[in-house]
Structure 1
Amino acid sequence: MTAKILSSQEGEVVSGVGGSVRLLLEGDPVGVWIQTVPPGSGPPLHLHEDADEAALVLSGEFEWTLAGEVRRLSAGGFLSIPRGVHHRFVNVGETDASFVAWVTPAGFEGYFRQRVHLDPSKDAEALRRLAQSFGMTVVG
């Protein structure tokens, strides 16, 4: 792992993925990002075939679905998502909400950089292929 210190203003920000993602660490054994999600937004139910993920809510309120269990989590709420487990989240608040996520092995964080170029309403099949290329399968 590479030593790294970032201020709150550093790290590549990728916008347009249902909010924004600030990439903090990639290409090491672990990928780390902060994801900011507008009200009512979140991905469909999905799984990661070859990566374990974890998330810590920083602000706002999310409804997380994990392995069939649905829970609301606010700042300080945490979840661990083993590879192959169905999950999703949606911002259920009235303002932007954010969480820090990490994935191991690293690699999935590159999805956000490519995802920004696709419009789900026009490119659903391209989006599915992109997700699959990063080991993500949409299941709902």
Structure 2
Amino acid sequence: MPTTEITHALLAPGESELIEVAGNRIRIIVANPTLLVCDYSAAPHFPGPPLHVHPGFDETYIVLEGRLEVTVAEERRELAPSAAAYVSGSVPHTFDNPGAERARFLSICSPGGFEDFFRAMATGDREAIVGVSERFGYEAVKTRG
């Protein structure tokens, strides 16, 4: 199958794709087969996704503004600006914004491709959501309580 090699990306503000889902704004900064970088602005009091795994990629969060609650395995921690969390996709994890203000963070995924999940969520395309979830092994592991 032919592939296009991506050698670089230079983007000015406003040149990247913006996806809006459930009051959240996800700006796709870099999206290629090896890397996904999103500028994620979580809505106030956003409960986050369920505790989940996705063995198909690892994820790093770097908080830029506000506060982000991150749960990795059994540990839960509040991250302030400049704080970071790395999680292997095979370890149960989630995040939420418990605050009254937006929480803005970089979400860095390796390898890339999960941007298709955000696009599918924005359009409500259930078939696409299931397809991307299966491709990365995304699954909820339990309900947070």
Asked if these proteins are the same fold (TM beyond 0.5), I'd say yes
Q: 2:77 aligns with which of 71, 75, 81?
A: 71
Q: Are 2:114 and 2:132, in contact at CA under 8 Å, matched by a contact in 1?
A: no
Deviation at 1:51, TM superposition (A): 0.7
Unmatched 5+ stretches in structure 2: 1-5
CA deviation map 1:112-138 (0-9, x unaligned)? 01111229xxx7xx6973562342111
Match of 2:122? 116
Alignment of 1:1-140 (within 5 A): 1-41=6-46, 42-118=48-124, 129-130=130-131, 132-135=133-136, 136-140=138-142
For the residues of structure 2 that align with 1:14 and 1:32, how far apart are their CA atoms? 13
Cα pair 2:120 2:129 within 8 Å, conserved: no
Moved over 2 A (4+): 126-134
If you compute each CA radius of gyration, which structure gives the higher value, 1 or 2? 2
- Amino acid in structure 1 at the alignment position of 2:139: T
Q: How many equivalent pairs are there? A: 135
Q: 1:21 to 1:74 in 2, by over 3 A?
A: same
Conserved in 1, the CA contact under 8 Å of 2:117 and 2:128? no
RMSD: 2.0
CA contact (8 A) 1:49 1:137 kept: no
String of CA shifts for 1:42-97, please: whole Å, max 9, x gaps. Answer: 11111112111111011111111011100000111101111201111110111111
CA distance in 2 between counterparts of 1:26 and 1:131 reads 15
